[in-house]
Amino acid sequence: MFVQVCLYFYCKCLWRCLKFVVRKLTGQCELQRICYNTKPGAARTMKIEASLKGSKSKRLQTSVSVHPDAIEKTIDDIMELKRINPDINPQLGVSLQACLLQIVGYRNLIAEVEKLRREPYDSDNPQHEEMLLKLWKCLKPNSPLKARISKQWCEIGFQGDDPKTDFRGMGLLGLYNLVYFAEWDTEIAQQVLSDSLQPKYREVTKKELSQFSKAEWEKKKFDKAIGYSFAIVGINITDLAYNLLVSGALKTHFYNVAPEAPTLTHFQQTFCYLMHEFHKFWIEEDPLDIMEFNRVREKFHKRILKQLQNPEMALCPHFAASESLINM
């Protein structure tokens, strides 16, 4: 333990000495080198974030958690602390501001999402009820809901005759995401719902077919493709998106697609992407029964995490609702 502590401080001191030498040689501080040598996006913003958090200056450490309205003042403080002339380096202030907007915005997005997650569904709240009924109308426009408490809710993937009990895990966040998907990507949401009720096989390649034994092929011929409960899976994918956000894994995506602060709309659009991709992944995996859901979900989770390890990764969904975000 003592050796590890000594090694930590040794590496820390060595790193700071190295930074001092590089600054003397280049005439630029670390923030300048990052902004000038790294293209805009996740690569730059994450390096700026790490540099500020790892600074020995408390003012720099706290700059990543300021109020959005204080960002301009914070940039001035950073320039003053680093003895950088803004008239000679005007682009640096612009670049730092863009990075801080993303960093602070991500933190605020977590708080906003957490607030929705913690708010339970209240059937006595007219707004909550209105959103729930909107979900039905978007997904089943040609099938009027006969009653608020009805077995019809099972047709869109809820477990019982009153959906409010299914939102306990993710609170209003689950409902917000499902309504967004159904309202803004209606055609795809309805198709995913239809496929979940009438599941399809993925096509078996000739190579796979040649690898089947006679017994396996006989079993495969009589197997049924397995569907899933659309709404319940939507709430589950909301949980997956929430964990990606809170863990910081989604920084790569948001810092690449949001030119400034990522918003709740960015998060909901990411949910749409994940929902659609999970649906395709479920068909590819072709599980034997619904009991394999957790295995498939975990495998899908690992695939998304691996994609997000690429600093240039953007989960660019092919949905109408995302076009305005991609073009920002």
> Per residue in 239-280, pLDDT tens?
999 999 999 999 999 999 999 999 999 999 999 999 999 999
Please determine, for residue 321, whether its predicted confidence score (pLDDT) is greater than 80: no
Q: Where is pLDDT greater, at 319 or 47?
A: 47
Compute the distance between CA of residue 97 and CA of residue 120 in angstroms, rounded to an integer. 36
**pLDDT score of 11:** 47
Number of helices and strands in the chain (H, E): 16, 0
Q: Where is pLDDT greater, at 210 or 143?
A: 143
**pLDDT score of 324:** 39
For residues 278-301, average pLDDT: 93
Q: Where is pLDDT greater, at 221 or 159?
A: 159
For residues 287-306, average pLDDT: 94
For the stretch 5-13, contacts whose Cβ atoms lie closer than 8 Å and that sit 24 or more positions apart, written own/partner, are none
**pLDDT score of 289:** 86
Please determine, for residue 285, whether its predicted confidence score (pLDDT) is greater than 80: yes
For residues 206-230, average pLDDT: 61
Contacts of 273 (CB under 8 A, 6+ apart): 315, 316, 317, 319, 322
Q: Are 136 and 157 in contact (CB under 8 A)?
A: no
Compute the distance between CA of residue 148 and CA of residue 162 in angstroms, rounded to an integer. 8
For residues 53-82, average pLDDT: 93
For residues 128-146, average pLDDT: 96
Please determine, for residue 233, whether its predicted confidence score (pLDDT) is greater than 70: yes
**pLDDT score of 210:** 61
With tokens 């915005």, the residue in question is 105
Q: Where is pLDDT greater, at 328 or 287?
A: 287
φ and ψ at residue 255, rounded to 5 degrees: -70, -20
pLDDT band for position 203 (cuts 50, 70, 90): low
**pLDDT score of 88:** 85
**pLDDT score of 325:** 38
Please determine, for residue 299, whether its predicted confidence score (pLDDT) is greater than 90: yes
The residue count for the chain: 328
For residues 16-33, average pLDDT: 61
- Whole-number average pLDDT of the chain: 86
pLDDT band for position 111 (cuts 50, 70, 90): very high
Please determine, for residue 314, whether its predicted confidence score (pLDDT) is greater than 80: yes
Tokens of 303: 């695939």
Share of the chain above pLDDT 90, in %: 71
**pLDDT score of 208:** 52
Find the range with the poorest average confidence among 23-32, 113-122, 132-141: 23-32
Share of the chain above pLDDT 70, in %: 80
pLDDT band for position 89 (cuts 50, 70, 90): confident
Compute the distance between CA of residue 250 and CA of residue 242 in angstroms, rounded to an integer. 9
Please determine, for residue 306, whether its predicted confidence score (pLDDT) is greater than 80: yes
Q: Where is pLDDT greater, at 136 or 9?
A: 136
For residues 104-109, average pLDDT: 97
C-alpha 310: how far from chain center = 14
pLDDT band for position 322 (cuts 50, 70, 90): very low
